[in-house]
């Protein structure tokens, strides 16, 4: 069976797909039809619902800082912006900041990043070891050269609330959602033609957005496009500690171990060593990283965490861009109508408002209006010019 044509088809209805749908439907220059195709409407395996929901401005890339500054502005106004029939989502924003710790050899990079963040409008305090000790007495400063604490606009939200807020609002603006799977993408003479869905068959479309999260590389491949974005497993561990650390920020050790409070408990994460960090589809729980890396590191850095009790764990997939750990955004330079919104490598939740708005601007106006994100274009991959993000947590 062949369905009627659509102006825009978005493949993937996670936070990115729903954000793009919302911003495009709200665009005054756009009055076409929008279809979001999502194969798993329960969102059981997607990156969004397994995310930590963190939002920060502590990045090394100018565009990432600007995107997250818009992210926080959107988060603060989301209840009103995403309201339907007078009811908007509660994103449960906890503004407890990020605390990035640097070893003595990392101090100059930390200082330079902090300078760029401040220049662009982010708020944070650069802390020498003495200041760090007096502000966070529960922390061991051993091996720490300096730190930056985000004094405002950083913390974490409920990822599902943002996803469903975008989705509900997009529907109210006329966006159609379909439970189906994109299995083929047709392109001819440098132009996208349409998409084939496993259930609904062929759908002709003027534009298609790849918003398939960790599976973005597989969806690009359907159109014959090489995109180095694949699922990389990240284990999150949940633990209890009898001693409560009041207003603890999301704390990142120089080793890469990160930890924050979650309700009355704590959660911790670390990226696996590079040689073990492979593309993978499974969501099996694995406790080795907690025993071997996380717990020993936390016990040294936060002495009250010597006595903790592991109570659970969950696996999720980063939408990992192995080329330079940064987003790939915008229209394919040689296949008109094929758009990327991929590769956020662990910081896509907070960037979904900016990425959604940017993609909508490109489709509706053929240019970036709010933030120039040309640097994130696919062309850099074709030309072998990585734009590396240093602060990937």
Ligand X SMILES: Cc1cc2nc3c(=O)[nH]c(=O)nc-3n(C[C@H](O)[C@H](O)[C@H](O)COP(=O)(O)OP(=O)(O)OC[C@H]3O[C@@H](n4cnc5c(N)ncnc54)[C@H](O)[C@@H]3O)c2cc1C
- Interface residues with ligand X (CB under 6 A)? 11-17, 37-40, 43, 46-48, 50-54, 181-182, 211-215, 219, 234, 236, 316-319, 344, 346-350
CB of 141 or CB of 277, closer to ligand X: 277
> Closest separation between CB of residue 330 and ligand X, Å?
15
CB of 128 or CB of 286, closer to ligand X: 286
> Closest separation between CB of residue 146 and ligand X, Å?
23
Grouping H, G, I as helix, E, B as strand and the rest as coil, residue 209 is strand
* Pairwise CA distance, residues 41 & 386, whole Å: 34
CB of 68 or CB of 297, closer to ligand X: 68
- Count H helices, E strands: the chain? 10, 18
Record the tokens describing residue 223, joined without a space.
């159109």
CB-CB contact of 386 with 323 (8 Å): yes
> Closest separation between CB of residue 341 and ligand X, Å?
7
* Pairwise CA distance, residues 249 & 98, whole Å: 5
Q: At what angle do helices 159-172 and 62-81 cross, to 10 degrees?
A: 60
Record the tokens describing residue 149, joined without a space.
């604490």
CB atoms within 10 A of CB 107: 16
> Closest separation between CB of residue 129 and ligand X, Å?
27
> Closest separation between CB of residue 70 and ligand X, Å?
13
CB of 52 or CB of 145, closer to ligand X: 52
> Closest separation between CB of residue 142 and ligand X, Å?
26
CB-CB contact of 161 with 200 (8 Å): no
Grouping H, G, I as helix, E, B as strand and the rest as coil, residue 153 is coil
CB of 194 or CB of 346, closer to ligand X: 346
CB of 173 or CB of 313, closer to ligand X: 313
Gyration radius of the chain's alpha carbons: 21
Beta strand 265-269 with 308-321 is unpaired
């Amino acid at each position: 069976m062949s369905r009627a044509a659509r102006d825009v088809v978005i493949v993937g209805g996670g936070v990115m797909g729903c954000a793009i749908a919302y911003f495009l439907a709200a665009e005054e220059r756009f009055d076409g039809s929008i279809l979001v195709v999502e194969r798993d409407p329960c969102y059981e395996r997607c990156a969004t619902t397994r995310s930590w929901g963190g939002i920060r401005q502590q990045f090394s890339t100018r565009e990432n800082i600007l995107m997250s500054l818009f992210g926080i502005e959107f988060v603060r106004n989301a209840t009103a912006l995403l309201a339907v029939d007078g009811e908007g989502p509660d994103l449960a924003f906890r503004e407890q900041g990020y605390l990035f710790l640097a070893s003595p050899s990392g101090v100059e990079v930390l200082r330079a990043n902090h300078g760029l963040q401040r220049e662009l409008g982010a708020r944070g305090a650069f802390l020498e070891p003495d200041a760090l000790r007096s502000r966070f007495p529960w922390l061991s400063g051993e091996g720490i050269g300096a730190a930056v604490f985000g004094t405002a606009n950083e913390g974490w939200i409920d990822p599902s609330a943002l996803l469903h807020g975008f989705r509900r609002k997009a529907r109210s603006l006329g966006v159609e959602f379909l439970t189906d799977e994109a299995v083929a993408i047709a392109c001819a003479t440098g132009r996208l033609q349409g998409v084939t869905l496993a259930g609904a068959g062929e759908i002709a479309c003027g534009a298609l957005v790849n918003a398939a999260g960790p599976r973005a590389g597989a969806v690009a491949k359907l159109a014959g496009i090489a995109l180095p974005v694949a699922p990389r497993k990240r284990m999150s561990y949940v633990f209890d500690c009898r001693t409560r650390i009041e207003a603890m920020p999301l704390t990142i050790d120089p080793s890469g171990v990160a930890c924050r409070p979650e309700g009355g408990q704590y959660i911790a994460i670390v990226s696996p060593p590079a040689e073990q960090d492979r593309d993978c589809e499974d969501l099996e729980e694995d406790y080795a990283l907690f025993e071997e890396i996380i717990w020993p590191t936390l016990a040294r850095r936060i002495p009250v965490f010597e006595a903790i009790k592991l109570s659970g764990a969950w696996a999720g997939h980063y939408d990992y861009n192995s080329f330079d750990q940064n987003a790939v955004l915008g229209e394919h330079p040689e296949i008109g109508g094929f758009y990327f919104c991929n590769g956020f490598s662990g910081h896509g939740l907070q960037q979904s408002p900016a990425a959604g708005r940017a993609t909508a601007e490109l489709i509706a106006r053929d240019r970036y209006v709010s933030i120039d994100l040309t640097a994130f274009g696919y062309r850099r991959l074709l030309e072998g010019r990585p734009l590396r993000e240093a602060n990937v947590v």
